[in-house]
Amino acid sequence: MTFELLYKPTFTNQLLAIPQDRVRQVLEKIELLREDPKPHGKLKKKLHGYKGNIYRLRSGDQRIIYTYGDGWVALLGVDARKDVYKGQKLVAGETELDVSSLPDMQDLLTPTPPPQYASDSQPTAEDESAADPLNYLPTKLTSDFLKRLLVPDQFFEVLTNCKTLDDLTSAAIPESLRERIFDAVTTPNFDQVLSQPDLVAGTDDLLKFKEGNLLGFLLKLNPEQEKYVTWAIDSKGPTLLKGGPGTGKSTVALYRTREVLARLKAEGIAKPKILFTTYTNALVKFSQQLLTQLLEADAKFVEVKTADKIAYRLVVKATGKPAIASHAQQKRLLKQALVDAIASLPGNRLQQQAQQLILQRLHPDYLLEELNSVIAARNLQPLADYQATSRSGRSVRLNKTQRQAIWHLYEHFSQQLSEQSVETWPQLRNRALEILVTAESPLVYDAVIIDEAQDLEPNALRLLAQLCRQPNRLFITADANQSIYGSGFRWADVSKSLKFVGRTGILRVNHRTTEEIDAAAHSYLYDGSLDEKTLEPQYIHSGPPPVVRAVSDREQEGYLLAQFCRAAAREFRLGIGACAVLTPSDRAGKAIAGQLSYLGIEAHFMTSKDLDLNRKGVKVLPLKAAKGLEFPIVIIAGFFDGVYPYIPKGTSELEIQEILARERRTLFVAMTRAMRALLVVVPAAQSMSQSKRKLSPLLQSFSPDFWNLGNTDV
């Protein structure tokens, strides 16, 4: 039996530190593992002291650390550390840096008064811990050592000046280099290395890598993910893949794209045309980069766009550039439409009174959402269709008479839009779909991959389904509990062609977040869930429980954020750039970025439009802009600016509950962006009472069974 060799990133990083004249011997010894990885004599022995089954293979004065399973061997690391025995057992050596968990969170996160600075000086990131011997780098970063690690010359100066671990975490270098240096100078915790992604490469590839060809190794999917790359691909209808946050739905969608492309070529289609679409522009950019890496030259056959970009292009080509009404303009036109609608309500006097009552009782924001996200987004025509629809995801129940009033309002609102020669995005999508259906030579794709479908409105999904040449080439990923913008809906509401009986898969293994973070986020979500079926998740990572802390003011909040970013980055062997702060508003985000910069931590506020994940420093983003992204360390903060969420005066209780449920899902998505550490900062009850405001119920629902609350009363 021949075993498949897999490689962890830590192994490839440590391989670079091996002297060149010993690399071939190491690679030759690795080939022995293909035939038999089982322990044998002094050459291959089990390492005790780890939770997982971890083994050591000797290669001269080097040791290769690995594990194995049914048909595979995973290489975890390679270094020159000497064997350590206790009695007859070969045990794990002492690590220079323990990264198995964060330090005592109670001590770390107890807010302390900000340091006092002279009025004419700026604070710096001076390391008080520099006097701690454990903070010094165990290996000196010399130019020769950095050359061996293939570090570009331009980073030599900053790295040779690094004396401590804190210096290394704050150095202005790419994260990939920081990770490589950490692996080379410290002893990894191989229990943590086990949870790293598997890479696939041949021995020749590893030799080229060592010689300076920093090629990207191919990521190996786990068996669960691999199954759905080809699952139901030859069926007669579309396929739906569901899964919770971090289960790899988007990764499977990318590999599905490659598989579909290969099959189309095998069928004789020399230049296949595939559409890969997701919700936001930020996700489009991210997906485009990954597909280019995965498909290489064949990436030219895949078009990556949002559904609205496609709809807009169809309308422009058919009728010219459309004019989209802004939200503020829609609110003004709705106000006039309400006046006109109430003055001309149909039916007898009793029916008119009932209709007028519902139009006056519901807040204009709720009415506008009903017109756009229910009637227009589902393209309901005529009134009978609206009266019969389920309105999934809407809390306020409406009878037929009340729906007749809202339909009457919709007609007047549409008239107002028409008179101003503008339209809404839902209306534009409907027009694009009509153009597509009636065109003599319609725009079609050989295959359509729809990622994150839960955030698309029904008419956007209907448009994308129409673009696909064959139903069996339509692949959709979705998670209802991550829906932010659109109300819930049934697939039958979208299109009769979207029937997934026998073609619905579920991913359960969470690869992004730790079990503790995911469990805490789901405990928070409990009453904001849209998905009726609860998945039984499985986890790869574990770590400290997420933390909630209350602070009395913005100054204390900023100091706590700076303290947490520095400590968490060091403990997880990451740069400060691995930290992200998610805020409820742009105003709060800009303020926090300014505070962190003042405290000596580089930080930048960015929206989804100017998102740059490669920018140095802490990323500060609005909550909704983080959708689809992930960060090792996440802080949710910035709740001192106004009431969260904003609820207009006159909003009914049922409308309020719907708003709260939607915002709870927003916070759930933000929480699940965290991979290793999560901190939620809320205003202290005392600070809220002083401002005569109440703490939002969304900032109080934290169970002590899942969250580290310290002395915080939330």
Express each pLDDT in 56-111 by its tens digit: 898 888 899 999 988 889 999 988 877 665 666 666 654 433 323 333 444 544 44
Q: Which residue spans within 552-644 are E strands per DSSP?
A: 579-583, 603-605, 618-622, 631-636
Above 70 in pLDDT, residue 165?
yes
Mean pLDDT of 690-710: 79
pLDDT band at 592 (very low <50, low <70, confident <90, very high): very high
Q: Which residue spans within 590-645 are E strands per DSSP?
A: 603-605, 618-622, 631-636
Provide the pLDDT for residue 475.
95
Above 90 in pLDDT, residue 643?
no
pLDDT, tens digit, 9 for 90 and up, residues 610-630: 878 778 889 999 998 887 788
User: How many other β-carbons are positioned within 10 Å of the β-carbon of residue 49?
Assistant: 15
Structure tokens at 117: 């600075």
Q: Burial, 382: exposed, middle or buried (Cβ in 10 Å; 0-12, 13-18, 19+)?
A: exposed
Per-residue 3-state assignment (H helix, E strand, C coil) for 147-204: HHCCCCHHHHHHHHCCCEHHHHHHCCCCHHHHHHHHHHHCCCCHHHHCCCCEEECCHH
Rounded to 10 degrees, what is the CA torsion of 69, 72, 73, 74? -90
Provide the pLDDT for residue 212.
59
pLDDT band at 497 (very low <50, low <70, confident <90, very high): low
The per-residue pLDDT of the chain, averaged, comes to: 83
Above 50 in pLDDT, residue 121?
no
Using DSSP's 3-state secondary structure scheme, residue 103 falls into coil
Provide the pLDDT for residue 488.
53
pLDDT, tens digit, 9 for 90 and up, residues 176-228: 788 889 888 877 778 778 877 777 766 666 666 655 554 455 556 778 888 99
Q: Cα–Cα–Cα angle for 73, 78, 83, nearest 5°?
A: 105
Measured distance CA(483)–CA(700) in Å, rounded: 22
pLDDT band at 301 (very low <50, low <70, confident <90, very high): very high
Total-model pTM: 0.67
Provide the pLDDT for residue 141.
92
